[in-house]
Chain A
Amino acid sequence: MIIGEPPLPEGTPGIDAIAMTMRFGEFVALDNVELKVRPGSFHALLGENGAGKSTLVKCIMGYYHPTAGSILVGGREQAIANPKDAHALGLGMVYQHFTLVPAMTVAENLVLARDDVPAIVNWPREKKELEAFLARMPFKVPLNARVSDISAGERQKCEILKQLYLKRRFLILDEPTSVLTPAEADEVLGMLRNMVVAGELTILMITHKFREVMAFADDVTILRRGKLAGHGRVADLTPDDMARTMIGAEELTVQPARIGEVTATRLELSKLNALDDAGAVAVHDISLTVRGGEIVGIAGVSGNGQRQLVEVLSGQREAESGEIRVAGDLYHASREEMRQHKMSLLPEEPLKNACVGGMSVADNIAFREFDRAPFASGGWWLNRAAFRTEAERKIGLYKIKTRTPDTPIAALSGGNVQRAVLARELGGDVEVLIAANPCFGLDFAAVAQIHAEIMAARNRGAAVLLVSEDLDELLELSDRLMVIFHGELVYEARAGETNLTEIGRHMAGH
């Protein structure tokens, strides 16, 4: 321990962030924002992507140094120069994505996270201490299991346990439930809530989900475009109030009504099999058909083969066996076939799956058409002016927020990257659309727009296969619903004739 370090406040501390301003160059990420988290409370921080939530908590954790403003921990002003200082004050953060080492056991991960790992670890003693620690905790995790073998829910519990093991008394959770099923999310947040009620912990949770705010939070602070948009007690507010405060005057895209006739079969999978990266069977004998003018939804807990299924359909993975037919023709995901059948693909994590981060927005929008007129003169020479004109048109049409068409797409927010992909994939005629978690991690405006576009494509007669881990999204959009479990389709129903409980049961394999 460092000499001269401030003593830990008694009990669990509250945090006040006063007049926080953070500038990056000319861009103001935080403008005079105030945040007051009472000690022993569960506080939700709401806001759309880019509203400044992450910037604010990074200032609190010492990753950023605010341009102006001060932070009070337990009522005393603290200069938090780096994350180590924040840790010393008992502040801990749980990230959206896991920071555990998959190849190591839970116990090893916990010990590894300490600041004072001894050169030689006395494992029997550490294990005994860890067991004693776990006995006091509401969560149970298998200490000797390798992290790669445990479920997402258990991993998230490990992340939280790690913070508690490190004696953090104030936890910041950055969208902690985005990788969990609804049941897992409720379990984890419920346990944390109990610890808060018992006065052992204070929590600041960044989230998108109103349901979680309503069920677990005491107070809420809402940011909009770097400014404080509102705050209050959750008990006095409705989700509608919060949504309005978050979005401000922005109009959400209205989803078109479900119209049109179901036509002939467009997409047909028969006995499709595919392996995962480790060579295990991930997709097993999947057969399904999607007809024009309908949305077929596939539900399932993450890791049940839906990623590999989508990868096969989008040409990112070879099928082991089985066949895919589009409009009756065999399909191997070549450029000619995609073009002939007007295939569109909206993969999950578009920056990773469908864009080249270092290339410009205009280039990324042109990926499907760059080898044809007007983008290519004579079939080989790039016509830069056409790239620009088309990009400007689509940027306006799809409300993509970018400084210029030449900005690298990696500099855009997640919602705007997905809008750019949407513009590319749905900008022309669509006969078959395959979408995978198209709204993962996006803000309201983007979600509403993407849902509206998918519905519009369906209404124009496209066959839509929607693979999603968001049940609300599936129930809202699908005409037919299927459930994938361990790589097999185990359930099928018309959307109107089923419900959350029934689907949830099949997702869990019952």
Chain B
Amino acid sequence: MTTDVAEPVEAVAIAPAADPGFLQRYGGTIEYILIPGAALVGALGVFGIFVAMFGKNPLDLYFYMYQGAFGTWFSWQNTLTRAAPLILTALCTALPAQLGMVIIGGEGALLIGALSATSAALMLQWASPLAVQLAMACAGMAGGGLWIMLSGGLRQYRGVNETISSLLLVYIALAILNHLVEGPMRDPASLNKPSTREIGAANMIGSIPGTDIHWGLVFGIIAAIASYILIYHTVFGFAARVAGGNIRAAKIVGLGVGKLILTICFLAGASAGLAGMVEVAAVQGRTNANLAAGYGFTGILVAFLARQNPLAVIPVAILLGGISASGGLLQRRLDLPDASVLVLQGIIFLFVLASDALYGRIGFLKGKS
């Protein structure tokens, strides 16, 4: 054992002076596509082995996964419907990541957003549907935003690790939701599954004309594009990237780091809160424990696979939406247990996290002579 391990760091510092060629310029981008892609393929391979242990043919598995996700117009619609909340919850992780924060509590913000949106709708039963929908969106975003802002505030003013606090807040959110739907907000008619009252069919936001895909997908895509513009083209995003890249540099140029953290956390939570509102206003029609379907947690996976890039979140969310959409077909055709899609998601997450170690280490991308 020697203590010379510090050395490779210096080696990296010298290397980038070289080679202004194609790989130098685009090597980074290629890496961002190649490595997560390879991680995905690797994960599918391991999942194939897992399935083979159940005595099923992995090739059948891949075929049905494709069929169930992208094979028909029906499966496309199913996929896109599932992608919508994933885009929004992924932003809940991807936005704070620009500041160097790891927020994994999108599920909590989604639940609080759903609860706030439902409350707004139930209080405004006399108003026009458009007003109700707007109020639901505002309430959902405000609720989710404040929820994640709580994590940001704890981090900024109390030094509490935001990853832990945001995760624990998920369970608090779930407890609040359960308390309200089983107590004060319970619809007496909901016997088996305690729920709130319905927001009313007129107040539902409906589908994109000609499809069964609800408007949440459009909200998600707009939010992702807006986030991208915010981060890469505005003064606010620039300040956030400075603070996220090096907090000491941000302080030396006098940037208000606390304000940045709170604002970004609010926007992140608002995005997940909007996902909750969409789930209520487009799918469930009411709030109950069904909302804790794990979209918030899958969103973390989407954000990491997308390398925290708000634009890349869109295709990745569609991909993972497809994987979850194919779950039903796998269950029917291959007789696989319901949870096997979750197993696949877990394997993907492990592969993606492990693949992080590969950045900057792929020989042919470094432009060696």
Q: Which A positions have Cβ atoms within 8 angstroms of B? A: 23-27, 29, 50, 54-55, 58, 63-64, 67, 83, 87, 93, 95, 97, 99-101, 109, 112-115, 117, 162, 314-316, 333-339, 345, 347, 352-359, 363, 367-368, 370-371, 376, 379-382, 403, 408, 410-411
- In the complex, which residue of chain A has the Cβ closest to the Cβ of B3? A99
Encode B239-261 as 1/0 by CB contact (under 8 A) with A: 10110011011011111100000
A352 to B8, CA, bound (A): 18
* Residue contact B249 to A24, C-beta cutoff 8 Å: no
Binds A, one of B12-20, B111-119, B338-346, B349-357: B12-20
* Residue contact B20 to A26, C-beta cutoff 8 Å: yes
Which residues 1-40 of B have a CB within 8 angstroms of A? 1-8, 10-11, 13-21, 24
Tell me what chain B mostly uses at the interface: helix, strand, loop, or mixed. helix
CB-CB under 8 A from A162, the residues of chain B are 3
The winner among B5, B233, B252 for most chain A CB atoms within 10 A is: B252
8 Å CB contact of B254 from A55, A334, A363: A334
A67 to B368, CA, bound (A): 11
A359 to B18, CA, bound (A): 18
8 Å CB contact of A95 from B6, B18, B367: B6
CB-CB under 8 A from A382, the residues of chain B are 233-235, 237-238
* Residue contact B252 to A25, C-beta cutoff 8 Å: no
* Residue contact A359 to B245, C-beta cutoff 8 Å: yes
CB-CB under 8 A from B239, the residues of chain A are 370-371
8 Å CB contact of A27 from B5, B18, B255: B18
* Residue contact B252 to A353, C-beta cutoff 8 Å: yes
- In the complex, which residue of chain B has the Cβ closest to the Cβ of A98? B6
Q: Which B positions have Cβ atoms within 8 angstroms of A? A: 1-8, 10-11, 13-21, 24, 233-239, 241-242, 245-246, 248-249, 251-256, 366-369
* Residue contact A25 to B369, C-beta cutoff 8 Å: yes
* Residue contact A114 to B236, C-beta cutoff 8 Å: no
Given A27-B19, A353-B249, verify A101-B367 contact (CB < 8 Å): no
* Residue contact A356 to B254, C-beta cutoff 8 Å: no
8 Å CB contact of B253 from A63, A97, A113, A368: A368
A264 to B102, CA, bound (A): 48
* Residue contact B253 to A335, C-beta cutoff 8 Å: yes
Instruction: Tell me how far the C-beta of A172 lies from the nearest C-beta in chain B, rounded to whole angstroms.
Output: 12
CB-CB under 8 A from A113, the residues of chain B are 1-3
8 Å CB contact of A408 from B16, B248, B256: B16
8 Å CB contact of B18 from A26, A54, A117, A358: A26
8 Å CB contact of A347 from B4, B10, B233, B252: B252
CB-CB under 8 A from B241, the residues of chain A are 356, 359
* Residue contact A314 to B252, C-beta cutoff 8 Å: yes
* Residue contact B242 to A356, C-beta cutoff 8 Å: yes
A353 to B249, CA, bound (A): 5
A67 to B4, CA, bound (A): 23
- In the complex, which residue of chain A has the Cβ closest to the Cβ of B17? A27
Given A363-B238, A380-B236, verify A316-B4 contact (CB < 8 Å): no
* Residue contact B238 to A354, C-beta cutoff 8 Å: no
Instruction: Tell me how far the C-beta of A391 lies from the nearest C-beta in chain B, rounded to whole angstroms.
Output: 14
CB-CB under 8 A from B24, the residues of chain A are 25
Give 8 pairs: A residue, B residue, CB < 8 Å, sorted on A: A25-B366, A26-B20, A29-B14, A67-B369, A114-B1, A355-B249, A357-B246, A382-B238
* Residue contact A101 to B242, C-beta cutoff 8 Å: no
CB-CB under 8 A from B236, the residues of chain A are 380
CB-CB under 8 A from A55, the residues of chain B are 14
- In the complex, which residue of chain A has the Cβ closest to the Cβ of B12? A410
* Residue contact A316 to B234, C-beta cutoff 8 Å: no
Instruction: Tell me how far the C-beta of A49 lies from the nearest C-beta in chain B, rounded to whole angstroms.
Output: 11
8 Å CB contact of A370 from B14, B238, B249: B238
CB-CB under 8 A from A99, the residues of chain B are 3-6
Instruction: Tell me how far the C-beta of B24 lies from the nearest C-beta in chain A, rounded to whole angstroms.
Output: 7
Instruction: Tell me how far the C-beta of A219 lies from the nearest C-beta in chain B, rounded to whole angstroms.
Output: 26
* Residue contact B1 to A381, C-beta cutoff 8 Å: no
CB-CB under 8 A from B19, the residues of chain A are 24-27
* Residue contact A354 to B252, C-beta cutoff 8 Å: yes
Going nearest first, the 3 A-B pairs with the smallest beta carbon separation are: A25-B19, A356-B245, A335-B254
Given A25-B18, A357-B246, verify A100-B3 contact (CB < 8 Å): yes
Given A24-B17, A26-B369, A382-B235, verify A115-B248 contact (CB < 8 Å): no
Instruction: Tell me how far the C-beta of A389 lies from the nearest C-beta in chain B, rounded to whole angstroms.
Output: 17
